[in-house]
């Protein structure tokens, strides 16, 4: 029995959240630990099993899973720099996390991205080379030599045409799993002169005790509320909801960043040749049912324009600024051969359209996640603060303009497409559009691509071993720990982080 008289269970390790990192970590811990009378690892997830959902294995229909019962369906607060719009943010509540509804892109980022992690954490284990042994060598260390610049293959985490879900890729045998179970807080007690994590309290009042460690792996949008409800965070923010502070941590939930994107839908000039999904002549078995995308373009933004943009946001910008030091991958572009969109315009996947997607992958805007109340059932308040900096706006302008040049001004582009399909509220863009015109398009259409990170960052909230600063027996293992953006889709990094974390745990 627990101290308050409720029934309790005891585990060696409790992992809150069964996303990519949490699933991998639980599996590895369970495999390496000898069996004990009591089951050593408990996984707690607020959602359900996803394996029996018929749409889940199909990468091509990922969009249809957004807004389903597998999605928290978060949205941001009204965004000042996006004309007051709220931005939808997919967040999975199913075993396997993001691997259940993403497009499965496996990219690793730039070697220089991880050097920033080293500087923030003070530990070389978080370098590109430090993570190298914990990821698939043929993918992580491909021929690019540590830079994604240029045109590269769109490698996907899939088996034939089906997505690989984390809980399928890793054995869950011998792990206790509680689904449809909401966590209220991590129980933290004073033991001698230390604050110690001793268990996890569920929303129903039940407490699961832990013998060794609690690992919070609920994702960059859900990990901060768990920690704040556990009495860890800024005193003022906690007091606002009547939560007593046990551990001061001023940076929790304060450094959120995300990859934002702008899509454009292009009408094909000759759809009858079978260049788009849905055409009768689209017969490429490589892409049927999978993500129909074969390349990614990563580009560096010229220092000439970027330096003054950074200087408008920050004091003391010099040539050794991390985003100016060498050729960095600031933006990413890819083409997908169906055009799919839930909002207007909503072109059908009938082979008549393709879509371009432009991302700012090294954002400088920083945002926050706050509690709505003391209740774990209330969704968090997410202020994505999108395009709050001149640097982010500058980079998006440059890349969107480049896309217009390619499609509208080149012979190849003109031969391929008739023009952009858009709503009447939008003004057509061109390679000569003004900054104000491009900014207006961003305000009207920019969306999240669902890569939130940074809300429990290395060096600020967690030590280099991912232990929460000021608490014994409590770690974080998910995208929250990213201390700076990575010019990549985060899946590969998350698997590598989980694999390395296993080696850090006693």
Q: Is 183 annotated as a binding residue?
A: yes
In a domain, 1, yes or no: no
Please tell me the predicted confidence (pLDDT) of residue 375: 95
Q: What are residue 183's DSSP bridge partners?
A: 202
Please tell me the predicted confidence (pLDDT) of residue 289: 60
**Whether residue 302 sits in one domain with residue 249:** no
**Whether residue 345 sits in one domain with residue 215:** no
Question: Which residues neighbour 262 within 8 Å (Cβ) at sequence distance 6 or greater?
Answer: 357, 358, 396, 400, 441, 442, 445, 446, 447
In a domain, 94, yes or no: yes
Please tell me the predicted confidence (pLDDT) of residue 143: 39
Residue 406 has pLDDT above 90, yes or no: yes
Is 0.85 surpassed by the pTM of this model? yes
**Whether residue 265 sits in one domain with residue 220:** no
Range of the domain at 409: 260-360+388-445
**Whether residue 193 sits in one domain with residue 101:** yes
Residue 348 maps to which CATH number? 3.30.560.10
Please tell me the predicted confidence (pLDDT) of residue 343: 73
**Whether residue 264 sits in one domain with residue 249:** no
In the three-class reduction of DSSP (H, G, I as helix; E, B as strand; rest coil), residue 209 is classed as strand
Q: Check: CB of residue 497 under 8 Å from CB of residue 113.
A: no
Please tell me the predicted confidence (pLDDT) of residue 287: 65
Please tell me the predicted confidence (pLDDT) of residue 146: 76
Which of 426, 445, 464 finishes a domain? 445
Residue 481 maps to which CATH number? 3.50.50.60
Residue 463 has pLDDT above 90, yes or no: yes
Which of 428, 445, 462 finishes a domain? 445
Q: Check: CB of residue 218 under 8 Å from CB of residue 228.
A: no
In a domain, 394, yes or no: yes
Chain segment 20-44, per-residue pLDDT in tens: 999 999 999 988 755 543 458 999 9
Q: What is the mean pLDDT of residues 64-86?
A: 90
Q: Is 451 a catalytic residue?
A: yes
Please tell me the predicted confidence (pLDDT) of residue 60: 65
In a domain, 382, yes or no: no
What DSSP assignment string belongs to 141-169?
A: T-TTTT---EEEE--B-EETTEE--HHHH
**Whether residue 482 sits in one domain with residue 356:** no
Number of domains in the chain: 2
Please tell me the predicted confidence (pLDDT) of residue 168: 85
Q: What is the mean pLDDT of residues 73-100?
A: 92
Q: At what angle do helices 20-32 and 491-504 cross, to 10 degrees?
A: 30
In a domain, 372, yes or no: no
**Whether residue 264 sits in one domain with residue 252:** no
More confident residue, 387 or 140: 387
**Whether residue 456 sits in one domain with residue 325:** no
In a domain, 371, yes or no: no
Chain segment 211-270, per-residue pLDDT in tens: 999 999 999 999 999 999 999 999 999 999 999 999 999 999 999 999 999 999 999 999
Percent of the chain residues topping a pLDDT of 90: 69
Q: What is the mean pLDDT of residues 179-203?
A: 96
**Whether residue 83 sits in one domain with residue 199:** yes
- Enumerate the H helices of 190-277 as residue ranges: 223-229, 235-239
In a domain, 188, yes or no: yes
**Among 259, 353, 451, 463, which one carries the catalytic annotation?**
451
Chain segment 300-312, per-residue pLDDT in tens: 999 999 999 999 9
Q: Residue 386: count other Cβ atoms within 10 Å of its Cβ.
A: 26
In a domain, 145, yes or no: no
Q: Is 321 a catalytic residue?
A: no
Where does the pLDDT of residue 142 fall: very low under 50, low under 70, confident under 90, or very high at 90 and above? very low
**Among 81, 259, 353, 489, which one carries the catalytic annotation?**
489
* CA pair distance 447, 438, nearest whole angstrom: 15
Q: Check: CB of residue 339 under 8 Å from CB of residue 354.
A: yes
**Whether residue 109 sits in one domain with residue 45:** yes
Chain segment 415-431, per-residue pLDDT in tens: 999 999 999 999 999 99
Buried b (16+ CB within 10 A) or exposed e, 25-58: bbbbbbeeeeeeeeebbbbbbbbeebeeeeebbb
Which of 445, 463, 493 finishes a domain? 445
* CA pair distance 398, 442, nearest whole angstrom: 12
181: tokens are 């179970």
What's the mean pLDDT when you consider all of the chain?
Answer: 89
**Whether residue 342 sits in one domain with residue 480:** no
Q: What is the mean pLDDT of residues 375-380?
A: 94
Residue 434 has pLDDT above 70, yes or no: yes
**Whether residue 320 sits in one domain with residue 223:** no
């Amino acid at each position: 029995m627990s101290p308050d008289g409720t029934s309790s269970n005891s585990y060696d390790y409790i992992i809150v959240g069964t996303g990519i990192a949490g699933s991998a970590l639980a599996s590895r811990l369970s495999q390496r630990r000898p069996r004990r009378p009591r089951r050593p690892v408990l996984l707690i997830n607020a959602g359900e099993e996803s394996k029996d959902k018929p749409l889940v294995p199909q990468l091509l229909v990922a969009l249809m899973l957004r807004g389903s019962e597998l999605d928290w369906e978060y949205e941001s607060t009204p965004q000042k720099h996006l004309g007051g719009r709220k931005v939808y943010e997919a967040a999975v509540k199913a075993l396997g996390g993001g691997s259940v509804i993403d497009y499965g892109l496996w990219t690793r980022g730039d070697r220089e991205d991880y050097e920033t992690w080293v500087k923030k954490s003070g530990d070389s284990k978080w370098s590109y080379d430090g993570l190298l042994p914990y990821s698939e060598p043929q993918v992580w260390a491909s021929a690019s030599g540590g830079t994604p610049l240029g045109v590269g293959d769109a490698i996907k985490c899939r088996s034939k045409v089906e997505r690989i879900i984390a809980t399928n890729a890793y054995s869950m045998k011998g792990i206790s799993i509680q689904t449809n179970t909401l966590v209220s807080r991590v129980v933290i007690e004073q033991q001698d002169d230390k604050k110690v994590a001793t268990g996890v309290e569920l929303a129903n009042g039940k407490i699961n005790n832990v013998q060794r460690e609690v690992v919070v792996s609920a994702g960059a949008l859900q990990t901060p509320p768990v920690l704040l409800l556990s009495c860890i965070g800024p005193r003022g923010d906690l007091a606002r909801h009547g939560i007593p502070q046990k551990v001061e941590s001023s940076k929790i939930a304060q450094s959120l960043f995300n990859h934002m994107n702008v899509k454009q839908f292009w009408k094909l000039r000759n759809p009858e040749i079978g260049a788009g999904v849905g055409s009768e002549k689209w017969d490429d078995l490589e892409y049927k049912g999978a993500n129909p995308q074969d390349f990614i373009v990563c580009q560096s933004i010229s220092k000439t324009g970027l330096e003054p943009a950074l200087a408008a946001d920050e004091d003391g910008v010099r040539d050794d600024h991390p985003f100016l030091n060498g050729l960095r991958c600031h933006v990413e572009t890819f083409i997908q051969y169906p055009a799919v969109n839930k909002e207007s315009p909503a072109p059908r996947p009938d082979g008549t359209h393709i879509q371009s997607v432009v991302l700012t992958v090294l954002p400088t805007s920083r945002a926050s996640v706050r509690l709505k109340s003391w209740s774990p059932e209330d969704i968090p308040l997410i202020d994505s603060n999108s395009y709050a900096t001149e640097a982010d706006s500058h980079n998006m302008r440059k890349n969107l303009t480049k896309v217009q040049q390619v499609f509208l001004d080149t012979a190849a582009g003109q031969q391929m497409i008739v023009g952009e399909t858009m709503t009447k509220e939008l003004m057509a863009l061109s390679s000569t559009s003004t900054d104000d015109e491009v900014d207006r398009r961003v305000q009207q259409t920019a969306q999240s691509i669902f890569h939130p990170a940074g809300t429990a960052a290395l060096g600020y909230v967690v030590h280099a071993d991912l232990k929460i600063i000021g608490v014994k027996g409590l770690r974080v293992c998910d995208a929250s720990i990213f201390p700076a953006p990575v010019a990549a889709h985060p899946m590969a990094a998350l698997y590598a982080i989980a694999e390395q974390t296993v080696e850090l745990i006693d």
